[in-house]
Structure 1
Amino acid sequence: MLRKVYPFWRLQGVQLISVFVLCLAVFAYLQPAQTLADPDSWYHVKLTTMMRDSGLVRDFPWTQASLYRTIFIDQHFLYHVLLLPFVSLAPNDLAGAKIATIIFAAFSVTAVLWCLKRWRVPYWGVGIILLLTSAPFLFRLSLLKAPSLAIGVSIIAYYLITERRLGWLFFWTWFYVWFYSAWPLVVVMAGVWIAIDSLSQTKLNLKIIGQTLISKNNLKLVGVIVGGIVVALIINPYFPTNLVYLKQIFGMALTPYHTFVGIGGEWYPLAPFDLPENLSYPLLVWLLSTLVAVFTWHKQTKLSRSSWLIAVLFLIYTLKARRQTEYFVPWMVISSGLCLRDAGLGNLTLAYLKNKFASWIPKWVMKKYVLVTLLVYAIMVVPWGLSHGFRLAKAALANKYSYNTMLGAANWLKQNSPSGTIVFQSDWSMFPMLFYHNSQNYYLTGLDQTFMYEYDKEKYRQWERVVKGEARAIYKIAHDSFGASYLLLEKRTPAMLFWANRDNRLNRVYEDSEAIVYKLD
């Protein structure tokens, strides 16, 4: 029997490698030369270099008014391990981390396309257009943060769940727990899969649903995931401190901190009317595929139904925290592909459409000149629309922080203050830059304001009143309550600056275009 020979470009490995290379080019182009878009990037690079030079970081005295001071764990441990070769071999550690981010982001996009291909989704390559034209998705994946790789890790976990690759799933869950704090997503995906499996029975009654829920296969699946999580939590470099930290992980996901704590903008809700503007093409395709799935519900499989429900969950979570677009976009693409596959997308050809919908289409639309006009319009307008998100992401990444942000003030403090001196900073988001440039001094808070709030609510309110310019007694609060010897004030906090300049016990010792340093006499 003769073996069928496919053209070189149709070989699965060649196609996926081509996707990966294309993604590398896209994310390399998006990365600006000497700027970083997210302050946390400095923290990740600094912690990685500290791990390389001094071993595992177990104590974190650099945020004196935060939970990190008492219960620190590296919740991105394996992410930092993966960063190690890049920050060590590159001439500049920040540039090395950017190279890693480009590779990680390309992996995540390729993972989505790989799953679509494995699930035999027709026209799976269209997914790359939807992914690489979504500005929020491109922006989030281009940040020097764990989600650039975690998105791909979570989607592969879902593939292992649906294919019941239990051995791989055990170790993949273990890896996920050590890699990133979003690992509870594995439990959510498995729960959705089991629920859809139970509700997809031909005879829906409570007895059959109950039997399916506790079936041998589903119990094995639950056991493998729970086993992987338990082993990862116990055989862990941060055990048993990491068990205490679980409360904060779930608290951040469930508590509406944005209503009473000044947290990062990425955790604030996304208005429903902003969705079409930010996620136009993926959202349009997903809504259309949802409509198709509704009319062909009897054809939809457990795989398409479960992926659709996961997409809905991320839609809800995105409305709660806008950063979740990084997950919502790929799940829209996955859900759309699977729903259309089960609806019969494989038969979708021009001839099929003409025969199927000819009676619905007005005859004048089928005239040649009309079709040519529509084709010309599509050629002119569609590429511009598709590139719009690409341009938005490029601009958003470029107009951010330079590598040397806060370098002047950090170096002055490093050279003119004893090691371990506490600095009261006016902006918690500047901590990663200060920490990166000067780990000799200690600061008050950074990375996440919920950690300061949970550490001492009264001190959080005191700090908040000072930086908002609501408290005149800056010296008393900074020196007496927080034990600070220096005050670092960003010039973009005019209200605080007003009172600082009127306090005789604050001695201005350094100033540049970004910040002012006061010594608390």
Structure 2
Amino acid sequence: MRARERIASALGWLFDGGPDVPPAAAGQRAARDALYPAFAFLAGLLALGAVQAEKAELVDIDAYYHVAASRILAEHGVLTEFPWTRESVWRERYADKEFLFHALLVPFLGTQGRPGPKALTVLLGALGLALFAQLLRRREVPWPWLWPVLALCAGPWFLLRLSITRPHLLSILLCLGIVACLAGRRRAILLLLSALFPWCYTAFHLPLFLAILFVLALLLSGQGWSWREPALAAAGTLLGALLHPQAGNLLSLWWVQNVQNPAFALAQSSVSLNQALELRSPTGRMLLWENGAVLLTALGAALFALLRGARARADTVFWLLLSGGFFLLYLNNRRFVEYWPFFALGAGALLLRDAGARELLLAWAARHRLRAAVAAGISLLLLAFLLSGSVMLGQRLMGTLRVPALREEARWLAERASPGELVFTGNWDDTPYLLYYAPTLRVLVTLDPTFMVSRDANAYRTWRELVEAGRGDPDEIVRGRFGARWVLLRRAPYTRALRDRLDGDERFRRRFAGAEADVYEVGEPIPAP
């Protein structure tokens, strides 16, 4: 019996943060508290499932790559080279930056067009909401069921980001878990989750970033500073990177994507990387209207705490720093909308806890029962209105999203091109569809054009100048420089210069006009010397 008690005590220390944290509630309270994450999970399933159901196919460019990468992992195992990309650093130095996400996708693959990857996406999004509810419940915030529902009111772009099949869904789960470990001093679990990050997401420096904010929160709260949490986050991240099956290549690719990419974008503004819309700043409508429920809730909670003269606890200061940090990232890059609402709402909930909002409301309700009932009814109706409006806007955005999946063109090429042949495309974002629908063919680069810039910046510049300006001899570049016989060009404004040149060049023949793009053929590729 004593051994069993010691094991239980050790597990409690690991998961509950040591003797200074009260033990989890038992009996009826534990069963009741379990309803909060269960409710959040169910709400997430219904809301995100409704948004996801608006489109039968995948709706994001990178999602096609991730499903294709998962299929490659299932069929070929762990690779250190990626022959599918001829002009990318991946060709010689490949590392699967999202290894665990792709492995998790494998059981959901099925055949093309099956909803398996979309089902996994809904599950991961709902798990994020459930974890959010669980974290706030453990922090004893008022009304733990409310905050996941308000997160679903964060607007259509937030719901869309939770509805696309990409590894940031695992990153959200890991970030929430690491924040819980930092606030609860669960150092063993912090080490483990930090080690998982390099296996799940390209920005695996995030655990250290979160740990530094935690130490800053301690300093601002007058609790001194602790070196253990940043050290454990850094050690866990380094350990995870070193244990990765493609460790050497992983660190190299992290440098390319997280350092060289922004550096090139700043230094070479004349050469476009043609990166996705998600990397732009949010519009005023997104901030003030679509994210209005989150902004008003967070600002209202802050104002209430200020008027009450509440002293923020260390965990509240931590969540405030997280909210501010991710909000600044969101202002620069709209993709961070998937992180910011969680931390903004969490900070608001903790401020209300510190200000004693629940006790004040209960005392007022005891004195004015009829008014309290009316106020509760109006509040629930308003919440239902906000939630339904957010979900409907998310459905509308999902339904109107037009992704040129190039299915016809890719399948036509797969039937006629020899296995291993290179397809010269107009842009990097055409290639995920080829990997998905025509996996026997090869492309120049995929997922991020920086991987081509890093391998050969001159080749990248030659490619962009030919496509966007029609500069250079098409035959010499397509056949001679890149060794391609097939050219796939979307009917987009940026390809017009090259399409006009190919249409007037007798060496090129338009072989297929698909729904989204044209396929040209030139003579046999010139063999490399």
Q: Same fold (TM over 0.5)?
A: yes
Matched residue type, 1:392? L
1:35 paired to 2:57? yes
Question: 1:305 offset after TM fit, Å?
Answer: 0.7
Question: 1:227 offset after TM fit, Å?
Answer: 2.0
1:123 paired to 2:131? no
Question: 1:13 offset after TM fit, Å?
Answer: 2.0
Tell me whether 66-75 or 132-141 shows the greater mean CA deviation.
66-75
Determine the structure 2 residue equivalent to 1:193. 214
- 1:243-392 correspondence runs (5 A): 243-251=251-259, 255=263, 257=265, 260-271=272-283, 274-295=286-307, 299-349=311-361, 352=364, 383-392=384-393
Separation of aligned partners in 1, 2:173 and 2:119: 17
Question: 1:120 offset after TM fit, Å?
Answer: 0.3
Determine the structure 2 residue equivalent to 1:435. 435
1:133 paired to 2:153? yes
1:113 paired to 2:133? yes
Please say if residues 35 and 401 of structure 1, whose CA atoms lie closer than 8 Å, have aligned partners that are also in contact.
Answer: no
Separation of aligned partners in 1, 2:359 and 2:433: 55
Question: 1:514 offset after TM fit, Å?
Answer: 1.9
Separation of aligned partners in 2, 1:294 and 1:452: 51
Please say if residues 267 and 322 of structure 1, whose CA atoms lie closer than 8 Å, have aligned partners that are also in contact.
Answer: yes
1:220 paired to 2:228? yes
TM-score (norm 1): 0.86
Write the deviation string for residues 242-288 of structure 1: whole angstroms up to 9, x where unpaired: 22223124327854838552211111122456411231101111122
Cα 1:390/1:14, change in 2 over 3 Å: same
1:53 paired to 2:65? no
Matched residue type, 2:222? Q
Question: 1:401 offset after TM fit, Å?
Answer: 5.3
Cα 1:251/1:187, change in 2 over 3 Å: same
Cα 1:430/1:400, change in 2 over 3 Å: farther
Please say if residues 27 and 105 of structure 1, whose CA atoms lie closer than 8 Å, have aligned partners that are also in contact.
Answer: yes
Question: 1:486 offset after TM fit, Å?
Answer: 1.2
Please say if residues 40 and 149 of structure 2, whose CA atoms lie closer than 8 Å, have aligned partners that are also in contact.
Answer: no
Question: What's the % identity of the aligned pairs?
Answer: 24
Write the deviation string for residues 8-45 of structure 1: whole angstroms up to 9, x where unpaired: 9x712233223212221222222135222101111111
Question: 1:162 offset after TM fit, Å?
Answer: 1.2
Question: 1:99 offset after TM fit, Å?
Answer: 1.2
Please say if residues 31 and 142 of structure 1, whose CA atoms lie closer than 8 Å, have aligned partners that are also in contact.
Answer: yes
Separation of aligned partners in 2, 1:296 and 1:352: 16
Please say if residues 272 and 319 of structure 1, whose CA atoms lie closer than 8 Å, have aligned partners that are also in contact.
Answer: no
Q: Secondary structure in 1 aligned to 2:227?
A: helix
Determine the structure 2 residue equivalent to 1:153. 174
Separation of aligned partners in 1, 2:260 and 2:390: 29
Calculate the aligned-residue CA RMSD, in Å: 3.0
Write the deviation string for residues 381-415 of structure 1: whole angstroms up to 9, x where unpaired: 7644442221121122233457x932222223223
Cα 1:159/1:253, change in 2 over 3 Å: farther
Cα 1:297/1:443, change in 2 over 3 Å: farther
Write the deviation string for residues 147-185 of structure 1: whole angstroms up to 9, x where unpaired: 223212211111011111111111111112211123211
Determine the structure 2 residue equivalent to 1:416. 416
Please say if residues 174 and 229 of structure 1, whose CA atoms lie closer than 8 Å, have aligned partners that are also in contact.
Answer: yes
Determine the structure 1 residue equivalent to 2:478. 478
Matched residue type, 2:436? Y
Tell me whether 264-273 or 339-348 shows the greater mean CA deviation.
264-273
Determine the structure 2 residue equivalent to 1:70. 92
Separation of aligned partners in 1, 2:122 and 2:260: 28
Cα 1:350/1:164, change in 2 over 3 Å: closer
1:496 paired to 2:498? yes
Q: How many residues align?
A: 489
Separation of aligned partners in 1, 2:348 and 2:90: 41
Write the deviation string for residues 312-363 of structure 1: whole angstroms up to 9, x where unpaired: 11111111111000111111111111112112222231753999xx9xxxxx
Cα 1:163/1:509, change in 2 over 3 Å: same
Question: 1:421 offset after TM fit, Å?
Answer: 1.6
1:176 paired to 2:178? no
Please say if residues 420 and 441 of structure 1, whose CA atoms lie closer than 8 Å, have aligned partners that are also in contact.
Answer: yes
Cα 1:395/1:57, change in 2 over 3 Å: farther
Cα 1:127/1:436, change in 2 over 3 Å: same
Determine the structure 1 residue equivalent to 2:40. 19
Cα 1:336/1:47, change in 2 over 3 Å: same
Write the deviation string for residues 53-91 of structure 1: whole angstroms up to 9, x where unpaired: 22113211222222322322110001111112222xx46
Separation of aligned partners in 2, 1:443 and 1:13: 49
Tell me whether 324-333 or 146-155 shows the greater mean CA deviation.
146-155
Matched residue type, 1:97? P
Separation of aligned partners in 2, 1:315 and 1:48: 32
Q: Which runs of 5+ in 1 are unaligned?
A: 203-211, 359-367
Matched residue type, 1:136? W
Please say if residues 36 and 134 of structure 2, whose CA atoms lie closer than 8 Å, have aligned partners that are also in contact.
Answer: no
Separation of aligned partners in 2, 1:122 and 1:298: 15
Matched residue type, 1:405? A
Cα 1:354/1:12, change in 2 over 3 Å: closer
Separation of aligned partners in 2, 1:293 and 1:454: 50
TM-score (norm 2): 0.84
Determine the structure 2 residue equivalent to 1:231. 239
Match of 1:519 among 515, 521, 524: 521
